[in-house]
Every structure is written in C-alpha cells, then in structure tokens.
Amino acid sequence: MTMPDGTSRKTFIRTGAQTRELVEASLGARRRRELRFRLYGILAIFASVAFVVFFGYTIVKAGYPAFSQTFIQLEIGFDPAVVDPDGKRERQSLAGANYKKLVTESLLAIFPEVTDRRAKRALNGLVSSGVVYELRDMVLADPDLIGTSRKIWLPVDDEIDSYFKAASGAAQDAAAGRFKSEELEWIKRLQSQGLLELRFNRIFFTAGDSRDPEMAGILAAAKGSFFMLLVTMLLAFPAGVAAAIYLEEFAPKNRWIDLIEVNINNLAAVPSIIFGLLGLAFFINFLEMPRSAPLVGGLVLALMTLPTIIIASRSAIKAVPPSIRDAALGLGASRVQTVTHHVLPLALPGMLTGAILGMARALGETAPLLMIGMVAFVVDIPQTPLDPSTALPVQIYLWADSPERAFVERTSAAIIVLMLFLLLMNAAAVWLRNRFERRW
C-alpha cells in the first residue's frame, strides 16, 4: 500500500516509530533535567536554611551568657564620716565621696585575715570598679541612706564573672588559671556562703557604654538608634511619598522627569558610606551641626532611605487599578481629590511596608555613622536628638574591637538585640501588607 506522498505504509510506520522513540528519549532527558533542577533548588534552600541556623546558633550560644551577670552581696555601711564628712548633704560633696572605701570595708568584714596591702588590692579586684558609681547614684537619689547599712548585690569583676559562668572542665580550668590560689579560695568561700549569685543582667539594658565589660550596657546606643530612626521617619517618609505621588500622578513625561527617575534608581544603589561623606561635608563641616548627634545621623539616614521609599511608594501607586481613577474622575472629582481620597488610601499599606523596610536597612547601617563621628565613647544616656550618642551597630563595632574577653559575649548579645529589632520591623511590614493589601 502506497501513502499519498509516495512512501510505503511500512516505511511510514517505521518512520513514525523512530520519531516516537526519539520523542520519548528526549522527554526522558528533559524530565531528568527538570528533576535535577528541582533537586538543585531544594539543596540550595536547605543550604541557606542550614547557614542561617548555624549563624543563629553561633550568635545565640556566644551571646546568651551576657544576659546574666554574677553579683556579690555586700553589706555596705554608708558611714557619714566617709560619705558626708561636712554633714551638709550637698550634692557636690556627696558625688565626690570615697565610695571605694565603703566597698573595701565591707570586703574586709568578710575576710578579716587580709591585712597585707597587696592582698587588699587583690581583694578589691573581686568587685567591679564601676560599683562606686552605683553607690554614688544610690546616695544621690536617696541621701537618707547616709548613716545606715544595707545589703546590696553588686557586680563582680568580668574575670570572676567568666569563671563563675564557665562550665566544669577545660573552660573553668582556663578561667581559674587567671587567678592566684588565694583569690580562688576567696571566690570559693564567697560561693559557699551564698554571697555570689548569677542573676539577670539588668545593667546590660539600663546602662551606657563602659570600659569595664561588666558595667557596659546598650541603653545609650538603643536610645541613639531610636532618635535617629525617628528623625529619619519624620523626614524621609513624607518627602518620599510626596515625590512618588508627583512622579506618578502629576509629572509630565519629558526628559527631565526621566533623568530624575534614573537618578533616584541610581541613588538607591549608592554605597552607604557615600552618604556618610555627604553628611560629614554638608551637615557638619558646612552647617556646623554637632558631631555624634542623632539629629545628624537621622539626616544622613534620611538621605540614604529616601530613594528606597520613593521607589516602594511608586510601586504601590502603580498597583492601584486605573479603574479607581477613572471612576473618581467620571464622578467629577479633581485629580487632587482622586489622589488624596482614593489612590493614596489604597496605596498607603504598600508605602508603609516600603518605609518600614527602609527603616530596617537604616537601623543596621554603620559606615555612614562612622563618618559623622558617632563612633564616640558615650556613657551618658542621650535625652534629646542633640545629645552625643552612638547607635547599636556602631556599639557592636566598638565592642568587637575591644581586647577584653568579656566583651565577646556582650557583642553577640547586642547582635541578638539588633536582630530582634530587625525581625520585629520586618514582621510589622509583613503584617501591614497582609492586613491592608487588597487583591484586585
């Protein structure tokens, strides 16, 4: 039998079978390639998750000990002859009193056998040198303490804290090797009497920076970051939303607008240190604004965040269907009324999401803040955006560069706090998007 094209039926069947075999072979190869591609994707996801888990485990393992602190209970006698020799209760006199002597007398009451000057100096080293400021603040806050005796829990030196936290084994042996035999006897004696205790480290959350690890806290840095983000949000969000509305709804389509849009996209990719150089040159050198002030840091971060907010806001405005505008204009609303009453409320969730993500990026920035002097050693808690301050990322940078071993766990703990803030901000962005986003 001959086919219409002149080929025989057997030849046609054989050719069809060969074609089917070739197609099936190619389909098998394609399926294997698709399977390998999916496998690579799954492996990439597992590798990413494993890296994140390993990173989080490393940070938490190194940082969680910083949330507890070893304290020693001392019965401090606020001797009027030491604290207030004039008896006038003047603030300046109380602030300059010899509070170290009170600590020494309390320790000698526990260890009366210590009489040598060198041994006394070593005994004083059991307690943090920063406790004198705690006692001073207590007396300044309540002068009625003068003439009384109180049992007070005070932080110990960072080396003793490391020894007390170390688990039994090599870690504790290494920590014990940094003490003399008599010092180890003192520590064990205090521990047996219940005068050494591991407690929640309130100092870490209520104090500013310190050269003593056991007295160092993140409150000054956290408050500085708060003031900076407040300034950034107040400046960048309104300006970014206004610019996005103009570019999307009112700006004419010409070369100048195209140039502005290209520059906005380019500014979003500029390295952050460039904005720090701009802040140093303009805000500090030209306008002579104060260095290390959250106000200047907020201005620099606002410039850095502004392009991101503009791009996110424009995307949110574009997501509003044109039918909303057409319906409003068809009912007689002006373009301004259409934007303010209809487009803007519908695009606001996306704008807020973009703004929060921009704030989260600004919270983790370090390089621009280093350029404007926010790397200063700040002990006092800032009360206004004009007070000298630092930020959480800069505080982490400073502690990571410190030689003391105890600052390692403080650095990791500060990273944990910073990551929690970032997670909360990103979670707020996701919640806003899911709560107010509309499906068209």
**Each residue's pLDDT tens digit, 202-244:** 999 998 888 888 899 999 999 999 999 999 999 999 999 999 9
Mean pLDDT of the chain: 85
**In this predicted structure, what is the pLDDT of residue 10?**
54
What are the structure tokens assigned to 359, written together? 């704030």
Q: Specify if 4 maps to a domain.
A: no
The confidence score (pLDDT) of residue 352 equals 86
User: Does residue 266 form part of some domain?
Assistant: yes
pLDDT number for residue 290: 87
Q: Tell me the pLDDT tens digit for each residue of 5-50.
A: 555 555 545 565 666 666 666 777 778 888 888 999 999 999 999 9
Asked, for residue 303, whether it belongs to a domain, the answer is yes
In a domain, 3, yes or no: no
Same domain for 384 and 261: yes
Give a yes or no: residue 160 inside a domain: yes
Tell me: do 189 and 248 sit in the same domain: no
* Cα gap 393→398, rounded to integer Å: 9
The answer to which of 64-68, 84-88, 422-426 has the lowest mean pLDDT is 84-88
| pLDDT tens readout for residues 107-131 | 999 988 888 888 888 888 889 888 8
Segment 330-386, tens digit of pLDDT: 888 888 888 888 888 888 888 888 888 888 888 888 888 888 888 878 888 889 988
Range of the domain at 29: 9-64
Residues 257 and 356 occupy one common structural domain: yes
Helix axes 392-400, 219-245, angle to 10 degrees: 140
Considering the domain architecture, whether residues 251 and 374 belong to the same structural domain is answered as yes
pLDDT band at 163 (very low <50, low <70, confident <90, very high): confident
**Would you state the structure tokens that stand for residue 52, as one six-digit string?**
């994140």
Please give the pLDDT value at position 191. 87
Count of beta carbons in the 10 Å neighbourhood of residue 77 = 16
Same domain flag for 242 and 172? no
Domain assignment present for residue 1? The answer is no
CA dihedral 17, 19, 20, 24 (to 10 degrees): 140
Note the pLDDT of residue 3: 47
| 58 and 87 within one domain | no
Query: Does residue 223 share a domain with residue 203?
Result: no
pLDDT attached to residue 225: 92
pLDDT, greater one: 26 or 286: 286
Say whether both 209 and 223 belong to one domain.
Answer: no
**Cα 400 from Cα 369, distance rounded (Å):** 17
CA dist 200 and 130 (Å) reads 18
The pLDDT, as a whole number, for residue 172 is 60
Residues 45 and 87 occupy one common structural domain? no
Residue 31 lies in a domain: yes
Same domain, 59 and 186: no
Tell me what pLDDT residue 39 has. 92
Q: Confidence class of residue 171 from pLDDT cuts 50, 70 and 90? A: low
190 with 128, same domain?
Answer: yes
- What pLDDT does 4 receive? 55
Residue 368 lies in a domain: yes
Q: Can you tell me the distance from the alpha carbon of 362 to that of 368, in angstroms, rounded to the nearest whole number?
A: 10
**Digit-coded pLDDT (tens) for 372-425:** 888 878 888 889 988 888 899 999 998 988 888 888 889 999 999 999 988 888
Banded pLDDT at 439 (limits 50, 70, 90): low
Average pLDDT over residues 73-96: 86
What domain count does the chain have?
A: 3
Q: Are 193 and 229 in the same domain?
A: no
Domain stop point among 64, 85, 110: 64
User: Which of 213, 245, 262 finishes a domain?
Assistant: 213
More confident residue, 196 or 22: 196
Please check whether residue 324 is in contact with residue 254, taking contact to mean a CB–CB distance below 8 angstroms. no
The residue from 195, 213, 231 where one domain ends is 213
Task: Read off the CATH number of the domain in which 318 is found.
Answer: 1.10.3720.10
